[in-house]
Structure 1
Amino acid sequence: MSYEVDSKKTIHISEEIFRMLPESQPLEHPFKNCAVVGNGGILKNSNCGAEIDQSDFVFRCNLPPTVGSIREDVGSKTNLVTINPSIISQKSNTAASFKVHHTLKEFSAKQKAIFFYPQYLRSLAQFWRTKGVKAYRLSSGFMITSAALELCENVKLYGFWPFSKNVAGTPISHHYYDNQPPKPGFHAMPKEYNQILQLHGRGILKLQFGKCLPD
């Protein structure tokens, strides 16, 4: 099987790896209301935690912190969280990912590791290329947003805000937990966000810009 970005790089599907492949869809979809939670600094002091946790299914990106007082802004419910290659870059990504799968299975954990099918990611990238999003690799937030639109009836995005100021013009950090900018050259963030804005404008998804109002 070839890898997503570098199709010349392949991995041999041994009997052990073949046994890891799911026999059926690993997620019982469709879900009614889904929240896709990005890590943008706009989530700070948003008071969106309760609204996020009321969603039927919550997607998060890159193992973000959800404990402590920040829970009021970002919530704590997590049904699926992505792990970027950059987080496990100290090791071989494939080997480390497989180790997570085997460890969870060994301890009969309720959580399970789910891997994107490389051909799905290539098809996804090809689709968005036709819309003008041309990058070395789609961001995990954009990938999971696309997947959520396939799996959920209603999708709402939180924490997707690539600007250094909020809508009121107040400076904000890049992430709600730090101010570390992304490495340049990998993603086409402005073009991705333009597509998200278009999807919001057409009513395909909802994008939360500011504070969440109490019920």
Structure 2
Amino acid sequence: MCSPFGWAILTWSLVTLVTLLGLLISPLLSCGNLCTTLILSLWSSYFHVNQLLSVKSLQLTEKCKNLQSDLNSLFNRTKRQKEDDYLQIITDIQNCPWKRQAEEYENFRAKLTSCCDAIQNFVVSQNNTPVGTNMSYEVESKRTIPIGENIFHMLPASQPFVEYPYNQCAVVGNGGILNNSLCGAEIDKFDFVFRCNIPPTNGNVSKDVGSKTNLVTINPSIIMLKYQNLKKKAEFLQDIATYGDAFLLLPAFSYRANTGPSLKVYHTLRESKARQKVLFFHPKYLKQLGLFWRTKGVDAYRLSTGLMIASVAVEMCENVKLYGFWPFSKTVENTPVSHHYYDNQLPKRGFHKMPKEYSQFLHLHMKGIIKLQFGKCET
């Protein structure tokens, strides 16, 4: 398969050849041997260019096929992987044409559904968690919380995503790679947009990250630290107002310490008659999802929110594109990149396995299951 650049050159060659032949055929009889020589020369040039393009196309195809094994070798190294090794592979991946592979997509989605079934289980609902359930926490699995009437009535009757499956979905990470990307307009065209950890989307950043939001996660630590356990309620309500009528998703039952702040968010929104609706991650779903990715080599203490949401998106959507996922300190052009597009605060060391998670995204990209946006968007 030719690269897009190769096809452009080939098309140009054909058009040029046909045009020149049209111009030359009419005076051919009077021109004699000179015109015959010129036409033969043009034919020779065309076939030479075509041969070169065919060779380059075969070389590119072979190189793209080998990238999977190159990435596997890097992923399976016992020593710590070097950032530059990843960046070299990403540079090569960017030069490979991407096409959605329907069979690969369906196979991967079937595996996720068999393991975890996001459609039925990724949020706690009245349907999957009846009154009287003794729910185990995701991480502190020996601890349980009884689901009484008070919590039960906070839950949606069933999964709330009425337009499932969505056709085009964007999962927007918070990587500094989004700065100056001009991806905002492209992101806002998607049918469903997922975001992580209530990032800023209004003002000048919207040109890079977009503003449309259908679901956004909230880490309870943000509620505790940034909003002082909602003592800064007005600031919190002002910030989430930018998300319109999006779902706010919290891991209320991952740790016992998460439950109080998460339930407080629910009550605050209800009392304030805010437009957003609160959902809670199901701890059993997150546990099963963690086991699923562990079989793929992601042995983190806990999955990142980005990998959780990308996994949900594959089950909920027909096409998934990822923006703002970039765990490296620089671009492939060696330009420094902040950790987030809004700050440079690094995650806890050893808590997530970002390069290993990103390797999984690269594998899915190369298989035509999801598409990764690596840099600037076309405008």
The answer to whether the superposition gives a TM-score over 0.5 is yes
**Which residue of 268, 277, 286 corresponds with 1:103?**
268
Aligned-pair distance for 1:151?
0.6
Q: How do residues 23-102 of structure 1 correspond to structure 2 at under 5 angstroms?
A: 23-28=157-162, 29-90=164-225, 92-102=257-267
Q: Quick check: 1:21 aligned with 2:186? A: no
Please give the per-residue CA displacement for 1:65-123, whole angstroms capped at 9, x wherever unaligned. 11211111011111111112331345542111112222323444331011111111111
**Which residue of 129, 133, 140 corresponds with 2:294?**
129
Q: Quick check: 1:165 aligned with 2:165? A: no
Amino acid of the structure 2 residue aligned with 1:188: K
Structure 2's unaligned 5+ residue stretches are 1-134, 230-256
Q: Which residue of 1 aligns with 2:348?
A: 183
Amino acid of the structure 1 residue aligned with 2:356: K
Structure with bigger helix share is 2
Q: Which residue of 1 aligns with 2:141?
A: 7
- Please, what TM-score do these two structures have when normalized by structure 1? 0.95
Please give the per-residue CA displacement for 1:19-72, whole angstroms capped at 9, x wherever unaligned. 223221111211111110001010000000000001111111111111211111
Higher relative contact order (CA 8 A, sep 6+): 1
Q: Quick check: 1:194 aligned with 2:359? A: yes
8 Å Cα contact 1:167/1:209 also seen in 2 = no
Q: Which deviates further from its counterpart, 90-99 or 58-67?
A: 90-99
Q: Secondary structure at the match of 1:114?
A: strand
Aligned-pair distance for 1:10?
1.3
8 Å Cα contact 1:49/1:74 also seen in 2 = yes
Q: Which residue of 2 aligns with 1:139?
A: 304
Q: Secondary structure at the match of 1:34?
A: strand
8 Å Cα contact 2:188/2:210 also seen in 1 = yes
Q: Secondary structure at the match of 1:33?
A: strand
Q: Which residue of 2 aligns with 1:113?
A: 278
Q: Secondary structure at the match of 1:35?
A: strand
Amino acid of the structure 2 residue aligned with 1:38: G
Amino acid of the structure 1 residue aligned with 2:378: L
Q: Secondary structure at the match of 1:113?
A: strand
- Please, what TM-score do these two structures have when normalized by structure 2? 0.55
8 Å Cα contact 1:47/1:74 also seen in 2 = yes
Q: Which deviates further from its counterpart, 103-112 or 152-161?
A: 103-112
Please give the per-residue CA displacement for 1:163-187, whole angstroms capped at 9, x wherever unaligned. 1111221111111111111111211
Q: Secondary structure at the match of 1:146?
A: helix
Cα distance in 1, alignment partners of residues 364 and 270 from structure 2: 38
Considering only aligned residues, what root-mean-square deviation do their CA atoms show, in Å? 1.3
8 Å Cα contact 1:45/1:73 also seen in 2 = yes
Rg larger in structure: 2
Amino acid of the structure 2 residue aligned with 1:70: V
Cα distance in 2, alignment partners of residues 88 and 69 from structure 1: 24
Cα distance in 1, alignment partners of residues 165 and 293 from structure 2: 23
Amino acid of the structure 1 residue aligned with 2:335: T
Q: Secondary structure at the match of 2:319?
A: strand
Cα distance in 1, alignment partners of residues 355 and 221 from structure 2: 21
Q: Secondary structure at the match of 2:280?
A: coil
Amino acid of the structure 2 residue aligned with 1:49: G
